Structure 1
C-alpha cells in the first residue's frame, strides 16, 4: 500500500494511560516517516494550541484539534470553526435538564468550567487542557466555543447520546469518547472532515491515508481514510469498523504497527 499520511488519535490510542508516549522511539519513527515523504498528523479532541505545545519539537507536524473543528500547523497557522452564540445558548439550555453532568466549554485556547463544578472534574480538565478558566455562569461566556466536553455517570453515557441526538439535531452532534465522557461537536465538524480538508491542501487522497483510533469519535476518520487501524483496547463496534487491529495504547500499538507495516 502507498501511504502518504498517518493520523492518530491521542488518548487511548497514541498515549498510554498516564498520558505519555515513548518520545525517543517516536522521534526516530517520525524522522523515518518524513524521509519517506509521509505526513504524521495528530487528530484529537484536545485543543490544537495544546497539541502544538506538546509536539513543539516537530514544527512541520499538522494538528487536528477539537475533534475536527481545528486545523493547525506552525507555518499555516490556525483554522477554526466555532458554534454560533445562539447555538451555544441552545445547547446549554438542553443540558440544564440533566443534574449529573459536568460541562466544559472549549474555546480555541481557553476551556471554561463553573466555579462550583466538582473539584475532581476541574482537576481533570486542568490536566487534559493547558488553559482552564472558572466562571459563575457558562451562559455568560463570550469566548467562541469549538466543542463541549461533558463528563457523566458511565452507565448513562449511551442513554445520554440517545436522548441528546434528536434534541440537538442540526445544532450539535454527541460523540462518545468512552463510557463516562462525550463531546458535543458541530454538525459535520469531525475528524474525517478535517482529514479531507487537509488532504485537499496537501494533495493526498483518502486511499493514501492510514489512521489509528479507539473511540466512536474516530469512526468518521475510519470511514474516510482508506486504511483504518483500531487499538486492541477499543470497543467492539470500533474494531468492527477498522481494516486492521493493532496492540493496545499501553504497549505502543501505534508505533508497533507503523514500524512493521510502513518502516520495515
Structure 2
C-alpha cells in the first residue's frame, strides 16, 4: 500500500483527554515521515490559525480548520471559505426559534459569544478557541463567518441536529462535532471535501491517503481515503464505518498505528524499490 498523506482529527483522536500529545514521539514520527515524502495533515473543528500556534515546530504540516472550511500551513495565511451574508441572516432567523440554545459564531480569527452566555459555556468555548469575545447582539457581527456552533442539553443534541437539517437545507449542514455540540457548516464544506481539495493541490490521490477519526464530523474524511482508522474510544457507529481500528486517544492510538502499521510498510516498500 502506497501512503503519501496521513490526516488525523485532533480532539478525541490525536489529542488525549487532557488536550495534549506526546511531542517527543510525534516529532520523531514527523521527521521520519517527512524523509519518506509523506504529508501529514491535522484536521479539526478548531480555527486553523489557532491550530497553527500549537504546531509551529512542524512547518510542513497542513492544517484543516473549521471542520473543512479552512486550509493553511503553520507559516502561511489561512485560506477560508465563509458563509455569504444572506445565509448568515437565515441561520439566525431559524435559530431564533430555539431560545434555549447557546451560540458561538466562528470567524477565522475570533469566536463571538453573546453577553448572556453562561459561564460554563464560555469556559468550554475558551478551551477550544484562543480568541473569544462577547457581544450584545451576535446578528450584528460583520466578520466573515466560517461556522456557527450550537450548544444545547446533551440529551437533545441529536434531536436538534435532526430538526435543523431540513430547516437549513441548502443553507447549512448540521454536524455533531467532537465536543458534542452542533457545527453548522457550509453545504459541501467538510473534512472529506477539504482532503479532496488538498489532494488535488498536492497531486495525491484518495487511495494514497490514510485518515484517523473518532466523531461524526470525521466520517466524510474516513470515507474519502483508502484506509479510514477509527479510535477505540469512538462510538460504535464510527468504528463500523472505518476500515481499521486503533487504540484510544489516551493510549496514543494514532502514534501507535503509525509506528506499527504505516512506517514498517513504507520502509519495506523503499527497500524493495531500491533493490
TM-score range, shorter chain: over 0.9
Rounded Cα–Cα distance in structure 2 between residues aligned with 1:177 and 1:234: 12
Aligned to 2:69: 69
How far did residue 180 of structure 1 move? 3.9
Aligned to 1:215: 215
Q: Does 1:146 align with 2:130?
A: no
Q: Does 1:198 align with 2:213?
A: no
How far did residue 245 of structure 1 move? 0.7
Higher helix share: 2
Aligned to 1:50: 50
Rounded Cα–Cα distance in structure 1 between residues aligned with 2:166 and 2:257: 38
Q: 1:184 to 1:209 in 2, by over 3 A?
A: same
Deviation sequence 1:131-185 (CA, Å, 0-9, x none): 1111000111001000111221111111111100000000000001258411110
Rounded Cα–Cα distance in structure 1 between residues aligned with 2:210 and 2:130: 28
**Contact 2:6–2:210 (CA under 8 A) maintained in structure 1:** yes
Query: Which structure would you say has the larger Rg?
Result: 2
SS at match of 1:77: coil
**Contact 2:211–2:227 (CA under 8 A) maintained in structure 1:** yes
How far did residue 95 of structure 1 move? 1.1
SS at match of 1:30: helix
Rounded Cα–Cα distance in structure 2 between residues aligned with 1:102 and 1:22: 34
Aligned to 1:163: 163
User: Structure 2: where are the runs of 5+ without partners?
Assistant: 265-275
Deviation sequence 1:193-241 (CA, Å, 0-9, x none): 1101100111100000000000111111111111100011111111111
Q: How many residues align?
A: 264
**Contact 1:66–1:147 (CA under 8 A) maintained in structure 2:** yes
Q: Does 1:135 align with 2:140?
A: no
**Contact 1:229–1:246 (CA under 8 A) maintained in structure 2:** yes
Rounded Cα–Cα distance in structure 2 between residues aligned with 1:198 and 1:115: 38
For 1:218-257, what aligned pairs fall within 5 Å after superposition? Answer: 218-257=218-257
SS at match of 1:254: helix
Rounded Cα–Cα distance in structure 2 between residues aligned with 1:147 and 1:52: 18
Moved >6 Å (runs of 4+): none
Q: Does 1:10 align with 2:10?
A: yes
Aligned to 2:272: none
SS at match of 2:108: coil
**Contact 1:155–1:180 (CA under 8 A) maintained in structure 2:** no
Rounded Cα–Cα distance in structure 2 between residues aligned with 1:25 and 1:180: 29
SS at match of 1:250: helix
SS at match of 2:242: coil
**Contact 1:156–1:180 (CA under 8 A) maintained in structure 2:** no
Aligned to 1:82: 82
**Contact 1:44–1:67 (CA under 8 A) maintained in structure 2:** yes
TM-score by length of structure 1 reads 0.97
**Contact 1:101–1:152 (CA under 8 A) maintained in structure 2:** yes
How far did residue 77 of structure 1 move? 3.0
